[in-house]
Amino acid sequence: FICSAMRSLWMAIALQLCSTYVVCIKVTFESFEQTNGEDILLCNLRVRKFNRTATVLNGTIHLFREARNDVQYKVDMFYSRLGNQQYNHLPMKLPFSGVCDFINNMYTVFEEFTEMITNLP
């Protein structure tokens, strides 16, 4: 996802769990910050250097509610090309999806990667 040309870009991801609560999360290359909703979802994530050209988000997400298919997620990505806090919305199309539909799709599309994860539902 992240190449060397985008190294200086700032990104923000808003993750919304659309059941009865909304959880907002902000991500930049330097840090990851959960702004609210710790009673529903607790993110212990860190930004790490994967190699010379890529940065990854690594860690654990703890969900304290039952994750049925009516719990949905949405991802929005923004970047600031100059790093001056003037963000543009990335033209990524990630549709709303229920958690169960997302995990089932991940198992079928990325089967070789999900086999390596031992604690995935």
Contacts of 68 (CB under 8 A, 6+ apart): 98, 99, 100
Length of the chain: 121
Q: What is the pLDDT of residues 38-81, one digit of tens each?
A: 777 787 877 777 787 777 777 887 888 887 887 766 666 777 77
Q: How many domains does the chain have?
A: 1
On whether residue 71 sits in a domain, the answer given is: yes
Residue type, 106: M
In a domain, 121, yes or no: no
Q: 81 lies in which domain range? A: 4-114
- Whether 16 and 96 have beta carbons less than 8 Å apart is answered as no
Computed over every residue of the chain, the mean pLDDT equals 67
Q: Is residue 119 part of a domain?
A: no
Identify the residue with better confidence: 17 or 98: 98
